[in-house]
Chain A
Amino acid sequence: MSAVITIIRKEWLDLVRDRRTVFIAIVMGALLAPALVIGINIFAAEKHSERYEALLEVPMVNAEAAPNLVTWLNRRNVKVVPAPDNIEAAIRAQDLELVVVIREDFADQWYAQERAMVDVFFDSSRESARVARSRVAGLLSDYSGTVGRVRMLARGIDPGSANALQVVAQDLATQKSRAGQALAFLPYFLILTAFLGGAYFVIDTTAGERERESLESLLLVPVPPSHIMLGKVFAAVLFAITMISVALVAFKISFEFAPNLLKEMTLGWGSVFLILVVLAPVAVLGVALLTLLSANAKSVKEAQSYMSMLMLLPVLPTLVLMINPVKTETWMYAVPFLSQNQLVMAVLRGEGLSTLEVAVYLVSQITLACLILFAAAKLYASERMALGR
């Protein structure tokens, strides 16, 4: 057993000396993603509310025909500016978000108290013009309503009777659905980090060590090959768990700086720890699988070529469920990736985990990892391991 510890210590020393790789692995793999998610969300939220309040410039054709409208808009933080000659071209070229056109006969219709015509030109496929569009549409409709009520009052009619319905939109979806989107993506990100967090380490210490021609000497020490393998596996699992811990802490901290976002999630330190426990078997599973693959691979290149396939693996059960949705049942806690997905979601939603589910989960995942490690240990003891052919 002391050989296993010796190997773990040496592999970590070797890894830590490779500063750039460690830095990139930790920063890219664990810090960048949560930072990005939270950053984008904060940015989008700020932009949204800011743009509803900021000064809006509205190009208007024939503005002199509607001086009251212009004054009314000015008071509501809208600045009316002259429009270019070719409206269509300006909107196509994305120079303008929209243009309001007061029709030629606007003034006549206005004084005749008929419905005066106003055109709003825009491109509905442009997402960035959405705020300006809805602001202008809302303001124009407000103005129309206000003037209409004044006219009715002037004729002695209660303006309220003109509106059979007063519809007030109460949008409850935004916060929840955004939290939901993040919820759906978070488990996959965490599972992938756990699954492949130790990948570089494993490939480097097995296929890489063989390629650098130090493996033959290592396999000649009076230690069973399975112990050498276990030392390397433990070292890589520790690294993967370090990466998940860094990612989880990064998530936890980012949530605290984004209080308006993800209110649906409960992510206390207890949940962080629970998720870590749920993800630890995935780290063992990933390291075991990569140990088997890279012990069998002829070169580092071949071992790395499995990576893109392995990245897809955690999505597969979720995809199958999307195509063929079924209610969560106990046996699902034995299916790799599906079970972690369910468990991480349950922890995030603040639901309790039943003992049976956790037991099924832990026993099945650890059994699977042991089976893979057993196959890898057989490979380590084979001639193929030392020679790579």
Chain B
Amino acid sequence: MILVDKVAKGFKAKTGHVQAVKSVSFSAEDGQITGLLGPNGAGKTTTLRLLYGLLRADDGSIQVDGCDVGSNPVEARRRLGVLPDTRGLYTRLTARENIEYFARLNGVSAREAESELERLVASLDMSDFIDRRCEGFSQGQRTKTAIARSVIHRPQNIVLDEPTNGLDVMTTRGLRRFLESCRAEGRCVVLSTHIMQEVAALCDQVVVIAHGSVVAQGSPEELKALSGQANLEDAFVHLIGSEEGLML
């Protein structure tokens, strides 16, 4: 379970101060898939980076299974599996060696890692490239390897930054089945996306972010009701559009 409480984050830029996240609060429950939905540049990636402790929040706090990310980042990370925005692999190592490296760093024993890896290879359909060097992998193969390395230690909480970016339909469906199986196991899944179908197909709860703030929160059904729109896409445009309307 992940609790985000009024976090804020700004950056110094050449043009002056940029407030990437103004105030974001939400909670992601175990056994649920929570989607952060927002247009490009809304602050999704920054919010997630605060969540997994790569950046330190200027204000507010984040707890992972009751463990404070700001004061105890190493302990919090033990409970997290993260697919970050950047998905570089070690191209001179095979996919298996890449994943085993992260298993070792997460303190997973070789035997445990092997059985978990076999499970992941089956569920993410990686058998035809698992023992190939990562040089020249397709986007789908790269993403699958990156996901496998981020969950090899069976974390209770899984955070994915735009996981289906650049994936074809088959791969996307495979990934959805994988995330649904994580939910069925009672794990807490948080993903960011700007793709509507993904939210409709996967998420139990949606947090709509625009301009660094949460503009709406609830199940897809609740969002439709909130905006008075019949489908989710219209609801999304309505929720964000009204915000932009106010800004203008």
Which residues on A are within 8 Å of B, measured CB to CB?
2-3, 6-7, 10, 13-14, 17-18, 209, 212-224, 383, 386
Contacts and interface: CB of A to CB of B under 8 A. Distances in A.
Contacts of B107: 2, 222
Contacts of A224: 74
A23 to B, nearest CB: 15
Nearest to B102: A221
29 contacts: A3-B105, A6-B101, A6-B105, A10-B90, A14-B90, A17-B93, A209-B88, A212-B88, A212-B91, A213-B86, A213-B88, A215-B86, A216-B85, A217-B84, A217-B87, A217-B146, A217-B150, A218-B105, A220-B52, A220-B54, A221-B77, A221-B102, A221-B106, A222-B77, A223-B74, A223-B105, A383-B54, A383-B56, A386-B54
Contacts of B77: 220-222
B190 interface: no
Contacts of A17: 92-93, 133
Given A213-B86, A214-B89, A217-B149, A222 B102 contact: no
B97 interface: yes
A383 B52 CA distance: 12
Interface in B43-69: 52-56
State the 6 A-B residue pairs at the shortest beta-carbon distance, nearest first.
A213-B88, A214-B88, A213-B86, A17-B92, A222-B78, A221-B105
Nearest to B78: A222
A7 B97 CA distance: 12
B97 A13 contact: yes
Contact of A217 (B56, B92, B102): B102
A10 B55 CA distance: 26
Interface of B: 52-56, 74-75, 77-78, 80, 82, 84-93, 97, 101-102, 104-107, 133, 146, 149-150
Given A214-B89, A217-B87, 11 more contacts: A2-B107, A13-B97, A212-B91, A213-B86, A216-B54, A217-B82, A217-B146, A217-B150, A220-B80, A221-B106, A222-B75
Nearest to B91: A212
A214 B54 contact: no
A183 to B, nearest CB: 41
Given A222-B75, A383-B54, A216 B104 contact: no
A128 B75 CA distance: 74
A222 B149 contact: no
Nearest to B104: A6
Contacts of A7: 105
Given A17-B92, A386-B54, A220 B84 contact: yes
A222 B102 CA distance: 10
A221 B146 CA distance: 13
A221 B153 CA distance: 10
Contact of A18 (B56, B87, B92, B146): B92
B55 A383 contact: yes
A216 B55 CA distance: 11
B84 A10 contact: no
Contacts of A215: 86, 88
B162 to A, nearest CB: 14
Given A217-B149, A221-B106, A224-B74, A14 B92 contact: yes
A139 B85 CA distance: 83
Contacts of A3: 104-105
A271 B208 CA distance: 70
B11 to A, nearest CB: 9
Nearest to A211: B88
Contact of B93 (A14, A209, A386): A14
A219 B54 contact: yes
B65 to A, nearest CB: 13
A222 B89 contact: no
B87 A213 contact: yes
A216 B86 contact: yes
A213 B101 CA distance: 16
A7 B104 CA distance: 9
Contacts of B91: 212
Contacts of B87: 213, 217
B106 A222 contact: yes
Contacts of B133: 17
Given A3-B105, A383-B54, A220 B82 contact: yes
